[in-house]
Chains A and B, each alone.
Chain A
Amino acid sequence: MPWHLVALSAVLVVTYAALCLLDAGASAQYSVEGRRSGYTYLSPENQRLQDDDFANPGLLWVEQGRELWRQTDGTSHASCATCHGEAEESMRGVRTRYPRVDSQRGKLINLEQQINRCREVHLQAPAYPYESAALLALTTFVSWQSRGLPMAVHSDGPAAPFFAAGKHFFHQRRGQLDLACAHCHDQHAGQRLRGEVISQGQTNGFPIYRHLWQTLGSTHRMFAWCNTAVRAEPYPYGDDVYVNLELFLAWRGRGLPVETPAIRR
Chain B
Amino acid sequence: MIKPRVRLPSTASKGEVIEIKTLISHPMETGYRRDAQGHMIPHHIIHTFTCTYNGEQVFRADWHPAVAANPYLAFYTVATESGRLRFEWIDDTGTVYATEADITVV
A60 touches which one: B7, B21, B23, B28 (CB < 8 A)?
A: B23
Closest to B24 in A: A60
For B7, the closest partner residue in chain A by CB is A54
Verify A214–B69 contact, CB threshold 8 A.
Answer: yes
Residue of A57, A64, A137, A214 near B72 (CB, 8 A) is A57
A57 to B27: give the CA distance in the assembly, Å. 12
Whether B5 sits at the interface, judged by CB under 8 Å, is: yes
Contact code string B35-76 (vs A, CB < 8 Å = 1, else 0): 000000000000000000000000000000000111010000
Residue of B nearest to A64 (CB): B2
How many residues of A sit at the interface, in one of the four size bands? Answer: 10 to 19
Given A60-B5, A63-B3, A214-B68, also A55-B21 (CB < 8 A)? yes
What is A's interface to B at a CB cutoff of 8 Å? 54-55, 57, 59-61, 63-64, 133, 137, 214-215
CB distance from B75 to the nearest CB of A (A): 14
Interface residues on B, range: 10 to 19
Q: How would residues 1 to 40 of chain B score, 1 for a CB under 8 Å from any chain A CB and 0 otherwise?
A: 0110101000000000000010111011000000000000
* 21 A-B contacts (beta carbon < 8 Å): A54-B5, A54-B7, A55-B72, A57-B25, A57-B72, A60-B3, A60-B5, A60-B23, A60-B24, A61-B2, A63-B3, A63-B5, A64-B2, A64-B3, A133-B2, A137-B2, A214-B27, A214-B69, A214-B70, A215-B27, A215-B70
Complex: chain A residue closest to B29, CB-CB: A214
CB neighbours of A64 from chain B (8 A): 2-3
Nearest-Cβ distance from residue B22 to partner chain A, whole angstroms? 9
Please, how many angstroms separate the alpha-carbon atoms of A214 and B29 in the complex? 10
Closest CB of chain A to B58's CB: distance in Å?
A: 20
9 closest Cβ pairs, A-B complex: A214-B69, A57-B70, A60-B25, A64-B2, A60-B2, A54-B7, A54-B21, A55-B72, A63-B3
